[in-house]
Amino acid sequence: MNAQRRVYKYYDLIMAIFVTVLLCSNLIGVSKVVTVAGLTFGGGNLFFPISYLFGDVLTEVYGYARSRRVVWAGFGALVFSAFMSWVVITLPPAPGYTGQAAIEQVFGSTPRIVAASMVAYFAGEFTNSFVLAKLKILTRGKFLWIRTIGSTICGEAIDTTIFYPLAFLGIWNTQMLVTVAVTNYCLKVMWEVVATPLTYRVVAAIKRAESEDYYDYRTNFTPFSLKV
């Protein structure tokens, strides 16, 4: 059967979960720094790595091209959420309304943080998918853990290296910026390592359900396409 005409049972569901996690991670706690058990990190980063887990599942099962479409869906959702937040905050509050300051504090990310988040997301997610797809060919489909952890190491490195300097350099002191960036990166990678048994189960279940295990032998890896 032509892969372009395949209809999958769970592809749309995984896309929805991916976009939901992405939006929540970027709207809730993106600029809040917390300290737990002596570790200082961004609060939203407890959940952001889940998007990488589902990104791994998408590329491993459906291939880079279909994963690319999901990355673009997430990017579009980020753009819309940023625009909607700006519009809602900018609209004049009604007389007697007292929640404007709270709305601005919760959803009023600066254009700099929004731009940094989008650039970092775009570069990091595509790096993750590209590395996983190439490693799958190199390993001939064996050693899934090498692909999931290896792609996360690369993707999260790009994401972290781009986001924190673009978003907070000159706002946070250098020590805090480096501490938060390094700690967040390590937590994200460790999250992937800890989640590896779950990833194995999810990937195996979806491959069986979809009768699909895609290899990107002839894929055009440009990120600027929606073709599958």
Full 3-state SS string of 120-182: HHHHHHHHHHHHHHHHHHHCCCCCHHHHHHHHHHHHHHHHHHHHHHHHHECCECHHHHHHHHH
At residue 191, does pLDDT exceed 80? yes
Mean pLDDT of the chain: 90
DSSP state of 223: S
Q: What φ, ψ does residue 33 adopt, rounded to 5°?
A: -100, 130
At residue 61, does pLDDT exceed 90? yes
pTM: 0.89
**Structure confidence at residue 5 (pLDDT):** 67
Cα 39 to Cα 44: distance, rounded to the nearest angstrom: 14
**Structure confidence at residue 3 (pLDDT):** 46
Average pLDDT rounded to a whole number, residues 222-226: 95
At residue 161, does pLDDT exceed 90? yes
pLDDT in tens, 2-47: 445 688 999 999 999 999 988 888 777 666 777 888 777 767 777 8
For the chain, how many residues are written?
228
Cα 188 to Cα 180: distance, rounded to the nearest angstrom: 12
Fold of 3-210: Arp2/3 complex 21 kDa subunit ARPC3 (1.10.1760)
Listed by start position, the domains of the chain span 3-210
